[in-house]
Amino acid sequence: MEYSLLGKTNFRVSKLGLGGAPLGGDFGDTTDEQAFRVIDAALDLGINFIDTAPLYGQGESERRIGQGLKGKRNQVILATKAVVRGVPYTYENTMKSVEESLKRLQTDYIDLIQLHELESVSYEAAMEGTVAAFLKLKKDGIVRAIGVNAGNIERLIPFVQDGLIDTIQTFGRYTLVDYTAKDVLLPLAREMNIGVIHGSPLGMGILTDRPAPFLAKYPALLEEAMKRKNELDFLHKNEPNGLVEPAMRFSLSCPDIAVTLTGTTSVDSLTRNAAYCDGVGLLSEHVARVLSLFQGKKLM
């Protein structure tokens, strides 16, 4: 397992992190026992960054992670988010969200708390409500670092520029078919020493040949994704889901991404993805070719 520093937090984090949405059952029925096996396997593989949210499984992901980490809490950098979709991002709601997360996670501190889904709140409201609450929690030692989360890159940039946060998390923006994060966001985060967490390196399942079910509502997107995948045949491995390894290595080897998240309820899948954390990226000529194909072209 490779490790890196998560921006100015100075947390030493595994390059591969465990994403918590599947552990809450968001992608299919999941039992407590499955979740505990994956958590134990992650620790055995050297993964020390776990990311979850109260939204995942309506608290089930946090509850299972809290239970699965009993007696092992000090082995991980534990990240969660606030608030739940549909709840206003006020100071009071944020404090309540974090209090409830602490109970479910069975811990008295959170290493990284992140504002979830910036798309749902304006910059001004976020700063006055959730970010203000985060800063108070950080001052009081209840959280060690604060961050923001969004799929929309443009929503992240003002928070990076103001310098108050420690991390950003985006998803699907440094993949083989959409690497728009590299244009402005990643260089800016590097300049400001903001740690970058990247989710969905497989493009919401597009690069596994099993797109997330909700993408069925976007046939034009799936059609474009298929065209782009066809241009990546030079990377395809002669095995099922032959773009998975190149896609994982593409994100894991990016020097500006501290943590790439993998979400799974399968120990076998987790073990395969962890094997790509060996310091070996794609061939330089292959990276150059990928980066020449879809420059500046957002997929989702």
pLDDT tens string 85-111: 899 999 999 999 999 999 999 999 999
Q: Which of 74, 76, 34 is nearest to 57 (CA)?
A: 34
Residue 110: strand pairing partners? 143
Q: How many CA atoms lie within 13 A of 194 on its CB side?
A: 29
Question: pLDDT tens digits, residue range 219-267?
Answer: 999 999 999 999 999 998 877 778 999 999 999 999 999 999 999 999 9
User: How far apart are the two ends of the chain, measured CA to CA in Å?
Assistant: 31
Instruction: Report if pTM > 0.85.
Output: yes
Give pLDDT, residue 209: 84
d(CA 150, CA 171): 7
Annotated active-site residue in 56, 89, 179, 276 = 56
Amino acid at the residue 40: D
Report domain extents, the chain. Answer: 3-293
Confirm whether 56 is a catalytic residue: yes
Question: Cα 2–237–21 angle (5° rounding)?
Answer: 55
CATH number at 3-293: 3.20.20.100
Q: Is 289 left (phi over 0), alpha (psi -120 to 50) or beta?
A: alpha
**Alpha helices (H) in the chain, listed in sequence order:** 32-44, 60-68, 91-105, 123-126, 132-139, 153-162, 185-192, 219-230, 244-252, 267-275, 284-293
